């Protein structure tokens, strides 16, 4: 099924229109403590009958099998059946987790994604990838299953910290590089720290459309959808590395480092143009925070990448670029070039 993304000017009304077709009084809303306070009030009038609201702790630590078991038990205790609906109201953690729970409960119930962060609106909530972490391995357990509906609204972003908006912007940058020169040129002239919500709304629509088109062509990631992994082989390793050390790093901040490293690898393997390499990395280095990665950490990062779920035949797999909009999937990289890429990041962030 090709999902349809609706950018809403009246989130409560549009949600009520979707729920009207369901013949069930068993509607569940999954939130964390932040989205319960800031986002849940915006959809309260959508329901003919009060839904069951399930609140879990915010943060990536909730995306584990213990929380999944808690949610399965909650649904069971409240007599959820196969006509029940789960609404995932939150960022990427909530949509990933809620989609997985809905996909596996009684072999699957419908779920609706209402992303409330930039990251979720352009990436996590789109495409039917649902999953949880296994210890610190990102999204190690999961399913492919599309939401019954996906509704976005920039109203949710008005209480979001600037740091979270910037984190999501890393995926916007990635999509522009996968798309074409024109899209990247539009992005590079934007200061994401000073963007207004009208401008942001247009950017999010365009960015989500880029991802949606790729997903619709390859819903189960057997080919071109692997383009969306650009920046993520290194980025996920960076995220796991700092999480292991109990150092907070946002997903988009890790992906920004991954983009810098994988653009360097693209230059080494496919002669990705030097001038564009420095233009893009300068943009990323200007707006995203610096994280200290020492040479002594390189082996640990390399070993983390060996567990990446994208790997094939015991080889670490990358998505790289020949040029902006020219994607090369299923690529490998020597340990030496990977180390050079980390050196490159170290030099530009000094």
236 annotated active-site: yes
With a cut of 90, say whether residue 23 has pLDDT above it.
Answer: no
Catalytic residue among 138, 251, 269, 276: 251
Q: Which CATH number fits domain 5-159: 3.40.50.300, 1.10.10.60, 3.40.50.1970, 3.40.50.11810?
A: 3.40.50.1970
What's the average model confidence in pLDDT over 267-292?
96
What's the average model confidence in pLDDT over 44-54?
96
Render pLDDT for 291-315 as a digit per residue (tens, 0 to 9). 999 999 999 999 999 998 889 988 9
- For the question of whether the overall pTM of this predicted structure is more than 0.95, the answer is no
Catalytic residue among 40, 174, 236, 269: 236
Q: Residue 3's pLDDT band (boundaries 50, 70, 90)?
A: low
Q: Which CATH superfamily is domain 162-348 in?
A: Dehydroquinate synthase-like - alpha domain (1.20.1090.10)
Catalytic residue among 225, 268, 269, 276: 225
Catalytic residue among 26, 40, 174, 211: 211
Q: Residue 97's pLDDT band (boundaries 50, 70, 90)?
A: very high
Domain with CATH 1.20.1090.10 in the chain: 162-348
Catalytic residue among 232, 268, 269, 276: 232
| pLDDT score for 24 | 87
What's the average model confidence in pLDDT over 263-272?
97
Q: Which residues contact 104 (CB under 8 A, 6 or more apart)?
A: 68, 72, 143
With a cut of 90, say whether residue 252 has pLDDT above it.
Answer: yes
Render pLDDT for 216-226 as a digit per residue (tens, 0 to 9). 999 999 999 99
With a cut of 60, say whether residue 2 has pLDDT above it.
Answer: no
Catalytic residue among 60, 221, 239, 262: 221
Catalytic residue among 3, 171, 239, 262: 171
307 annotated active-site: no
244 annotated active-site: no
229 annotated active-site: yes
What's the average model confidence in pLDDT over 123-145?
91
219 vs 43, 179, 212, 214, 228, CA distance in Å? 29, 18, 9, 8, 12
Q: Residue 138's pLDDT band (boundaries 50, 70, 90)?
A: confident
Average pLDDT value over all residues in the chain: 95
Catalytic residue among 40, 129, 175, 269: 129
In what side-by-side order are the strands of the sheet with 52-56? 5-7, 149-152, 110-115, 85-90, 27-32, 52-56
Q: Indicate the helix (H) or strand (E) that contains 68.
A: helix 65-77
Render pLDDT for 218-250 as a digit per residue (tens, 0 to 9). 999 999 999 999 999 999 999 999 989 999 999
251 annotated active-site: yes
Rounded CA gap, 86 and 148, in Å? 10
221 annotated active-site: yes
Q: Residue 1's pLDDT band (boundaries 50, 70, 90)?
A: very low
What's the average model confidence in pLDDT over 269-293?
96
| pLDDT score for 78 | 97
Q: What angle do CA 17, 124, 108 make, to 5 degrees?
A: 60
Render pLDDT for 176-210 as a digit per residue (tens, 0 to 9). 999 999 999 999 999 999 988 889 999 999 999 99
135 annotated active-site: no
Q: Residue 161's pLDDT band (boundaries 50, 70, 90)?
A: very high
What's the average model confidence in pLDDT over 318-340?
97
3 annotated active-site: no
What's the average model confidence in pLDDT over 127-140?
89
| pLDDT score for 350 | 61
The residue to which tokens 């399913």 are assigned: 143
What's the average model confidence in pLDDT over 253-272?
98
For 195, the 3-state DSSP assignment is coil
Domain with CATH 3.40.50.1970 in the chain: 5-159
Q: How far is CA 179 from the centre of its chain?
A: 17
- Say if strands 129-134 and 137-144 run parallel, antiparallel, or are unpaired: antiparallel
């Amino acid at each position: 099924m090709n999902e349809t993304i609706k950018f809403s000017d009246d989130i409560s009304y549009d949600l009520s229109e979707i729920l009207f077709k369901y013949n069930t009084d068993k509607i569940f809303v999954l939130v964390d403590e932040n989205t319960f306070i800031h986002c849940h009030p915006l959809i309260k009038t959508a329901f003919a009958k009060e839904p069951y609201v399930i609140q879990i702790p915010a943060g990536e630590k909730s995306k584990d099998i213990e929380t999944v078991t808690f949610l399965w038990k909650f649904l069971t205790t409240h007599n959820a059946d196969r006509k029940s609906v789960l609404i995932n109201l939150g960022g990427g953690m909530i949509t990933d987790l809620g989609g997985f729970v809905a996909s596996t409960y009684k072999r699957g119930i419908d779920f609706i994604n209402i992303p409330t962060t930039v990251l979720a609106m352009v990436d996590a909530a789109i495409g039917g990838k649902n999953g949880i972490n296994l210890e610190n391995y990102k999204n190690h357990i999961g399913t492919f299953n599309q939401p019954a509906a996906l509704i976005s609204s920039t109203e949710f972003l008005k209480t979001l910290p600037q740091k979270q908006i910037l984190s999501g912007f890393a995926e916007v940058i990635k999509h522009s590089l996968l798309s074409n020169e024109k899209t990247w040129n539009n992005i590079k002239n934007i200061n994401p720290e000073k963007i207004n919500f009208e401008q942001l709304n247009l950017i999010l629509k365009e960015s989500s459309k880029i991802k949606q088109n790729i997903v619709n062509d390859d819903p189960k990631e057997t080919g071109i959808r692997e383009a969306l992994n650009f920046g993520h082989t290194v980025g996920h390793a960076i995220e796991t590395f700092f999480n292991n050390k109990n150092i907070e790093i946002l997903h988009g901040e890790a992906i920004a480092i991954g983009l810098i490293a994988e653009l360097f690898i693209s230059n080494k393997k496919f002669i990705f143009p030097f001038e564009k390499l420095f233009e893009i990395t300068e943009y990323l280095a200007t707006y995203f925070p610096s994280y200290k990665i020492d040479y002594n950490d390189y082996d640990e990062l390399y070993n983390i990448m060996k567990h990446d779920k994208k790997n094939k035949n015991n080889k670490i797999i990358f998505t790289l670029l020949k040029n902006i909009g020219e994607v090369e999937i299923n690529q490998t990289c020597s340990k030496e070039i990977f180390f050079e890429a980390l050196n490159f990041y170290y030099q530009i962030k000094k």
